Structure 1
Amino acid sequence: MSTRKPAGGPRQLFARSPAERVALARQQFFEEGVRPSGLVGEAVIQSWMRCTRIHADRQRVIAFDAVTPSRLHATMGRNRELLDAARQELVGMESSLAGTDCRVLLTDGQGVIVHVTEHPGTTEQPILRQTARIGVNIAESVVGTTAPGIVATTGQACTVDGAEHYFEYLRHMQCAAAPIRDVRGQLAGVLDLTVEARRFGFDAASMVALYATTIENRLMLAQSHDRLVLRFQASPALLGTPLEALAGIAPEGTVEWLNAAGARLIGGVPEAGPCDVEMLFGLDLAALLRLTRNEAAQPVRLASGLGVWLQARLQGHDGVDFSHAVGLTPAEPKTEAAESTPQQTIDAPQPASDRDGTLRGHSRKLIEDTLALHGGNISHAARQLHVSRGTLYRHLKGLRERDAD
């Protein structure tokens, strides 16, 4: 981008309104070759630069074509977990926006729409009628500068207002979008608010960021089977809210993932990769597992010295939560009726040589101890663990297969 001065006299230096500011930015960028720093956001400037290399004609009409049926089918299947995590929040968000002309769009990480609100029947929104359809690709490489397109490209939340859109065709649109990440830190989706031919009238960026964070937290929790999940914050009142910090602890006792709030409280994600949980939380795995016995948050002090309130939850595969069974209770006395009823029993797995302080070892010992406590009675053990007999069988089968290996 050049910094040369335009010919033909002095150019306008100041804008009196947002519309004039963007018009001046477009003039400087597209006509004069001058970087319009300070007139529009850096995210918009970078998007314009990318778009000039892809889209030659800024005046053309955008078709908003849907992807092929086969790609749409694959996209919907691949994003089922995202849609499940977002369902409750999308309902709440759409209810809040029912009195506005805003549309809620959810895309996958590549910019293909996988959810959209119904079109308000009384409002004229010709462009949104074309855009807001499941299967339409609104990636930057297809429709130019938009908020969801920028987020899908950069992973950073942003807003795009009016003529900040690359194509003139979208100059009456306003959109705000935020990213949704998975436990691997990869972009799983983009949540977007869009309105046509008017302004939002409220802080759309804050609203979309709040809901995107909640969806992201739900997605991370859904992806954390067989993990110890830690919820923590400086105030217990913030637990269970979009401001709560989350961490996933792998079976070997390393911190596998942190959400954004968790990374801020911890002081950043370790650059060297997964590290031992005690290095960040000041407690070893065994101590954290003992905290799962408590439903209420407990005060702990992180390795940094910061005091927080923490809840620990141990969740097995199939969505089974074993936290209530970490501290085994004595078996209930058998009644005569129970003794006279034939019960199915099963031999507990033989002790393996890999007993250690890992999460996997803890879960195995829990199952073995529970079976031993009930004399191998699978029904009683499953009741103690609050799981079905089928689920307990699958756990036992997995343990035996590991022993065989």
Structure 2
Amino acid sequence: MTSRATRDAWERFQSGAVATARAEILDSWRRSKSNGVDPERLELVHTEIDYESPFVRVGAPVLLGMADLLVGNSTSLALADADGTVTWRWDSDRTVGRELDRVDFGPGSRVGESLAGTNGIGITTKTNRLALVVGAEHYKQPWHSWACVAAPVVHPVTRRVAGTVNVACRAEDANHLLLVVVRSLVDGVASALSAASTAREKRMLDAHLSFRATATGPVVTIDRQTMIIEDSAAEFGLDRAELWSVVAEAGPSATEVAVGDGLHARLYPVVPGRLDDGVVLVIRRGKSRGLAPSTAAPAVSLGPLEQAELKVITETLAECGGNKTEVAARLGISRGTLYHRLRRYRLA
């Protein structure tokens, strides 16, 4: 479509009339409208960012390695985290930088589709696919003078999207080379992430892939900082920190733990007898087949405060029908802390 045809389509869509646009763009416009995104005003949400995050620390030098080739081409390179927040930006010249600042595209800007409507990073964050958005294909009118192409970077160890690479230029300068550049940058960042991965992380990945090939249930592999999770386990909404708390409390000799409402996991340390090198969990629904002795709390005499806490937890469990997620929410504690208390008081 020509730029004029695209603007006409955008205006027709905003007026409620039938509009013709690329399927990917039209789908995104509909989601943006459903989410209540304002098409006329920016009104972006901003957040604090970690400039030393692993993705920025590894990805920024890769993008800067191509920067010399883009100087004078009115181009901007950016990184965004897995939630669609811009975490880093480089501009080929000061004019481009000032113009992007005026349209609020910079570090800390949350440009996920549900907040900022149709844009490259927004679509990529939503679909985990490469996305090209040119001119009036952007949902927000202030971005109509820009073109951007974004693509996800999959972490070679966790196999999850680590973040997004974005290349932007003025809409009238958009061409097929944008796609070539972003694909090259994504490959470069993925390779850099692989090189930066530790030997421990690679052992975790090897163990994860080995169990995945034979396990009958979803497989999750974790340590203190990393979680490798299959799509089949994503529906359980497992939190890495809480899951690690449960595993660490159980200890290296445990064979099974409760990891959620109606969920149990068999434990397989990557290095037998150690937890620090990571643990493979094979998850299943249903009752426990019996926890290892180390997962049960030792018999202890309870003081007055502990007796009161036990009473509150027991009563709340009854009120919530045993739903531990609801119990944790009512008590204002994490699920990991709740499971720790349940084991201590022999309620699990």
**CA distance change for structure 1 residues 185 and 28 in 2, over 3 Å: closer, same or farther?**
farther
1:30 — aligned with what? 14
Q: Please tell me whether residue 194 in structure 1 is matched to residue 168 in structure 2.
A: yes
**CA distance change for structure 1 residues 91 and 197 in 2, over 3 Å: closer, same or farther?**
same
Shift of 1:178: 0.5
Q: Please tell me whether residue 250 in structure 1 is matched to residue 207 in structure 2.
A: yes
Shift of 1:88: 3.0
- Counterparts of 2:146 and 2:60 in 1: how far apart (Å)? 26
- Counterparts of 1:209 and 1:271 in 2: how far apart (Å)? 36
**CA distance change for structure 1 residues 123 and 181 in 2, over 3 Å: closer, same or farther?**
closer
Q: Please tell me whether residue 136 in structure 1 is matched to residue 117 in structure 2.
A: no
- Cα deviation, 1:160-187, whole Å, max 9, x if unaligned, reads 0000011222111110000012233322
Q: Please tell me whether residue 55 in structure 1 is matched to residue 53 in structure 2.
A: no
- Counterparts of 1:255 and 1:91 in 2: how far apart (Å)? 37
Q: Which moved more, 1:127-136 or 1:46-55?
A: 127-136
- Cα deviation, 1:4-44, whole Å, max 9, x if unaligned, reads xxxxxxxxxxxxx52243234335533354363xx32x221
1:65-144 equivalences in 2 (<5 Å): 66-67=46-47, 71-72=48-49, 75-76=50-51, 80-118=53-91, 120-122=93-95, 126-144=99-117
Q: Please tell me whether residue 173 in structure 1 is matched to residue 146 in structure 2.
A: yes
Structure 1 unaligned segments of length 5 or more: list them.
Answer: 1-16, 230-246, 257-269, 275-357, 365-394, 400-404
- Counterparts of 1:90 and 1:225 in 2: how far apart (Å)? 25
1:233-382 equivalences in 2 (<5 Å): 248-250=205-207, 253-254=210-211, 360=271
Q: Which moved more, 1:123-132 or 1:89-98?
A: 123-132
Q: Is the 8 A contact 2:121 2:151 kept in 1?
A: yes
SS at match of 1:198: helix
- Counterparts of 2:110 and 2:202 in 1: how far apart (Å)? 37
Q: Is the 8 A contact 1:228 1:249 kept in 2?
A: yes
Name the amino acid aligned to 2:70: L
SS at match of 2:46: coil
**CA distance change for structure 1 residues 123 and 147 in 2, over 3 Å: closer, same or farther?**
closer
**CA distance change for structure 1 residues 133 and 31 in 2, over 3 Å: closer, same or farther?**
closer
- Cα deviation, 1:250-299, whole Å, max 9, x if unaligned, reads 2894579xxxxxxxxxxxxx99766xxxxxxxxxxxxxxxxxxxxxxxxx
Name the amino acid aligned to 2:183: A
| Structure ID, larger Rg | 1
- Counterparts of 1:59 and 1:252 in 2: how far apart (Å)? 48
Shift of 1:197: 5.5
State the TM-score, normalized to the length of structure 1: 0.48
Shift of 1:202: 4.9
Shift of 1:200: 3.0
Shift of 1:151: 0.9
**Greater relative contact order structure (CA < 8 Å, 6+ sep):** 2
- Cα deviation, 1:322-365, whole Å, max 9, x if unaligned, reads xxxxxxxxxxxxxxxxxxxxxxxxxxxxxxxxxxxx9858xx9x
- Cα deviation, 1:61-110, whole Å, max 9, x if unaligned, reads x144532xxx43xx445xx2112321331121212211311100111111
- Counterparts of 1:185 and 1:143 in 2: how far apart (Å)? 27
- Cα deviation, 1:207-240, whole Å, max 9, x if unaligned, reads 10221122123224433533658xxxxxxxxxxx
More helix by share: 2
SS at match of 1:99: coil
- Counterparts of 2:209 and 2:8 in 1: how far apart (Å)? 57
1:267 — aligned with what? none
Shift of 1:159: 0.5
1:374 — aligned with what? none
- Counterparts of 1:186 and 1:222 in 2: how far apart (Å)? 16
The one of 196, 209, 213 aligned to 2:183 = 209
SS at match of 1:50: helix
The one of 197, 205, 208 aligned to 1:223 = 197
Shift of 1:146: 0.6
**CA distance change for structure 1 residues 225 and 131 in 2, over 3 Å: closer, same or farther?**
farther
- Counterparts of 1:157 and 1:252 in 2: how far apart (Å)? 26
Shift of 1:50: 1.1
Count of paired positions: 228
Name the amino acid aligned to 1:191: V
Name the amino acid aligned to 1:112: T
SS at match of 1:250: helix
Q: Please tell me whether residue 152 in structure 1 is matched to residue 133 in structure 2.
A: no
SS at match of 1:126: helix
Name the amino acid aligned to 1:66: H
- Counterparts of 1:87 and 1:32 in 2: how far apart (Å)? 42
Q: Please tell me whether residue 185 in structure 1 is matched to residue 153 in structure 2.
A: no
